[in-house]
Structure 1
Amino acid sequence: MPCSCKQKKNAPAVATTDRYVTFDGIDCDGNARLLMSYIRKHIDLPEKTNKFWEYFKQKALGGNGPKPDDLFLIHSNLNQIRELFELYEDDEALALLDIVEIECC
């Protein structure tokens, strides 16, 4: 008898879901814009910025090549953004970051 991995004749059909349908009604772009304003609230202050955040600001403006959309930039830097909000105990921004990460990334 052949192994079970080769018995696909009677295997149930795999349901496919269009993952983009799940974003219907979620304002990912608006939430990302708001999250960027929370980030800028911190990193625009000289005492809270560093070389990474200065580079981040330039990237957000498109100064280092094509301007990425806010959601892509957030998704690409989730850990650094989380660390920033934790460092400055910004619970409101952390809550929004969690929503954006779960719903949009």
Structure 2
Amino acid sequence: MTDQTPDRYVSFCGIECDRKADRLMAMLAAHMAESKSRWVGYFEQKLAEKARMGNDNLHFVGSQVNSLSAFFEELGDSAAEDLLYDLEQTCC
């Protein structure tokens, strides 16, 4: 037995879930900075909760799939929608 703490995403090895979640969060931040959508206030609140709880980006994405999908659809960002779908199917 080793003293190493196991990676909680060990079953996701090789599919870069954290990197993809980080990329999606960057897309979200960019859109929030530019948009007047009602979703911006919602995500500001949820991101503050994320920070208080110490959750990572992948957890946030998995918890907010439907809201993220609606926001990206409203903005017409098919690249963000595709990345979110990939994350949902392979990582969440």
Spell out, residue by residue over 1:51-87, the C-alpha distance to the aligned partner (whole angstroms, 9 max, x if none): 3122023234x1xx22210000110110000000000
| Residue 46 (structure 2) pairs with residue 59 (structure 1) | no
SS at match of 1:44: helix
- Summarize the Cα distance change of 1:92–1:46 in structure 2 as closer, same or farther, 3 Å threshold: closer
RMSD over aligned Cα atoms: 1.9
Q: Provide the residue aligned with 1:41 in structure 2.
A: 30
| Residue 16 (structure 2) pairs with residue 27 (structure 1) | yes
- TM-score, normalising length: structure 1: 0.70
Structure 1 alignment gaps of length 5 or more: 1-19
Runs of 4+ in 1 over 6 A off after TM superposition: none
Letter in 2 for 1:58: A
Q: Provide the residue aligned with 1:12 in structure 2.
A: none
Which is greater in Rg? 1
Q: Which has the higher contact order (CA 8 A, sep 6+)?
A: 2
Q: Distance in 1 between matches of 2:40 and 2:26?
A: 17
Structure 2 alignment gaps of length 5 or more: 1-9
